Structure 1
């Protein structure tokens, strides 16, 4: 098994970076990944979406006039923009030379959840995404402060309804339960007083801001400290708590390497994370370099993105419709910008239900055969109908100087598939001992072998 391929999948979404990891070495590859720059220019698809307070005032006026048609058209337009945003992000994941930033952005996207379905403003979701991408390798505490003051987050967790004397505790609770400390490391009084400190923090022009008439300026006691605390103060106090590193190190290990990381490993890296003052870059470097040398293949089930983007990369499918890719992963339970709830995608075994496995096998058939997408085989929306994943036919790389066993071994190595005697016999039934690698139909035979391999349970693991 090629360890560089394994880590190419873990540090990105396909095996195409394996050669770079081999040539540069893991340390240099990580350095180049950390040096990658996020996009700062607003994408064209946001050009006509509402962005300013004035834009939203005009929309509210339309609503007050009970203009049903205007409401309907705005919903349709913004839903299309949301689809464009998903495709835009998938394109970045597929084409980035060093995709670790996008992989880490996706991690944060599932940690600091804020969905379009609830927020309903694409520009706020995009701003939230940009905060995450720009700070993907930065400081956890500083990122938490920025996210807490994003318009998307205060709207998603109902802090726009949190005011002095009438508190909404959602943001205060999830700040502790899901974003920083985890259940059991705070009290209900901490939640209540945190909500008071967050009262009045609502939508602003460039980010959330306090409304003087709604904020609470009385003293609050939070984790044993008393004062007139605001959102940044809450984060500073939270990050003084003993258990602060471990929720995040458990989730990072789970996202990249182990579906169920051991407690001692979570503590080991968590203690280092605290020593590094919650800087993400040194934490990732230590985790990846130390776990790289271990025999940890097969410890994590591929999420839908890793599955489909690896498959497309192996088959050299470059002309795909990214909206169709977004639809496929949505069907698999990984809808970008629309997690099922504030806890995000659960991952692990949830990525391999019988329905998900069947969908993956159907997708393998589609891509290997070169058939296009249509309502019958993938239930796409009208915008996708008739589009094709693979207009030119699938091709894969393989050594046409080898015999059948060498070709089987090459693909098993590349796809990280260990095969037992029964599977090996099945493979040799597809590509027989007298296989002629120079024959006209040789590529089609190897494609059938590839298709059989990617349907194995072992292919679902990294």
Structure 2
């Protein structure tokens, strides 16, 4: 696979940025990715959603005194809004000129999990997503403080039920186990004591706030320090621990490059991260520029986003149906805003079970034949159906060298799509695109599309 295409896929979701990376170089590409402007505008689909705790209470009060039909309509509307949010995010991933911010936002989204199903307030989930986007390239410690004090997080991890005399340890546990240090770098007493420091931290108007009546203000020992600590002080203490950088450097390496990163790489980049005071931008620059020089293609299974958006780009499908893509992602085990548990998507081999592989092959057949994803799926709401009929044929067009012979066209597609080929693969490809292939004849487009579809179903195409 061409190196610039490989890194376009790794730092985004398709080969769209390959020529830009080749033209301006990886380092300049990263600098421009880091400097992308942020859109803080609240999307239109959230305009009627409750945005303050007071608005939410008023709606719930109305529902509790209303009829069952009103409750069903409210639930239906919330589900439609959730679907709109998924489509909105997929469009950003697909359309941004420099999609690294969205890819890093998705990384953090799977690190600090807070789902629609548990939070139940779309605006809080949007706020959570915006915090991740705004701080995607910022400081790890700062981001941790902000996200722990988001309404979505205190709701998702039940800290709304954490109060003096009736402690809930969920947020305290995941703060240490999944968000920062990892198992083995704290003890159970740290979790119990940490829940005291988090007691009373609950829903606020814009972010979580402490409720004095529910706080626990007794001193406790936390990771070897004694005092009456609250959330910011607790995070500061966590970031003084010697093993703090390695959990996150391992996960970044897994998200972008290696399903199984070597431990020496995890430690090497972790030490640099600590030296940079947990600034994410220099860490990413170092990882990407140094790993770019190595021969590491084929070291990671494509996640469903990378797979589906790459196909959309290769087939030049304009304005793809975001809700259908979201449904495909769900079928593939990558339901945006709805991970299966607080650990998030496992990644790696979970992206290529026999069922997932079969779904990918079926999807390749649909798209290569100009048919939409998940044709006729029932989760589409009426407005979406009117705007974009999922059963309508797509306009698909594959780019290939019209002046090339069969071997030149095979080489072009292989270099663009596969990290490696061998003699057997070449023989299979030449069975489809035979030696006497002529691009001027009727049916030549169909022949190349058949080759493309065949390549999509190879094990090598599933890897980057």
Local SS of the residue matching 1:185: coil
CA deviation string 1:405-450 (max 9, x = no partner): 0100100000024222222122111111111112232211111100
Instruction: Check whether the contact 2:107–2:255 (CA below 8 A) recurs between aligned residues.
Output: yes
Corresponding position of 1:415: 417
Question: How big is the shift at 1:78?
Answer: 0.5
TM-score relative to the length of structure 1: 0.97
Question: How big is the shift at 1:66?
Answer: 5.5
Structure 2 residue 434 is the aligned partner of structure 1 residue 454: no
Corresponding position of 1:429: 431
In 2, Cα distance between equivalents of 1:52 and 1:335: 26
Local SS of the residue matching 1:190: helix
* Structure 2: stretches of 5+ with no match in the other structure: none
In 1, Cα distance between equivalents of 2:298 and 2:96: 25
Instruction: Check whether the contact 2:367–2:373 (CA below 8 A) recurs between aligned residues.
Output: no
In 1, Cα distance between equivalents of 2:357 and 2:390: 22
Corresponding position of 2:247: 247
In 2, Cα distance between equivalents of 1:431 and 1:330: 35
Corresponding position of 2:93: 93
TM-score relative to the length of structure 2: 0.97
Question: How big is the shift at 1:390?
Answer: 7.2
Corresponding position of 2:334: 334
In 2, Cα distance between equivalents of 1:379 and 1:369: 22
In 1, Cα distance between equivalents of 2:119 and 2:61: 19
**Aligned residues, how many?**
461
In 2, Cα distance between equivalents of 1:79 and 1:271: 44
* Change in 2 beyond 3 A, CA 1:304/1:141: same
Instruction: Check whether the contact 2:80–2:381 (CA below 8 A) recurs between aligned residues.
Output: no
In 1, Cα distance between equivalents of 2:457 and 2:315: 15
In 2, Cα distance between equivalents of 1:260 and 1:379: 38
Corresponding position of 2:217: 217
Corresponding position of 1:36: 36
Local SS of the residue matching 1:400: coil
Question: How big is the shift at 1:394?
Answer: 1.5
Question: How big is the shift at 1:361?
Answer: 0.3
Corresponding position of 2:81: 81
In 2, Cα distance between equivalents of 1:387 and 1:194: 51
Structure 2 residue 236 is the aligned partner of structure 1 residue 232: no
The RMSD of aligned alpha carbons is 1.4
Matches within 5 A, 1:27-426: 27-65=27-65, 67-373=67-373, 375=375, 381=380, 383=382, 387-388=389-390, 391-426=393-428
Instruction: Check whether the contact 1:374–1:380 (CA below 8 A) recurs between aligned residues.
Output: no
Local SS of the residue matching 2:179: helix
Instruction: Check whether the contact 2:371–2:392 (CA below 8 A) recurs between aligned residues.
Output: yes
In 2, Cα distance between equivalents of 1:288 and 1:336: 25
* Change in 2 beyond 3 A, CA 1:373/1:139: closer
Local SS of the residue matching 1:226: strand
Question: How big is the shift at 1:374?
Answer: 5.7
Question: How big is the shift at 1:54?
Answer: 2.2
Question: How big is the shift at 1:174?
Answer: 0.2
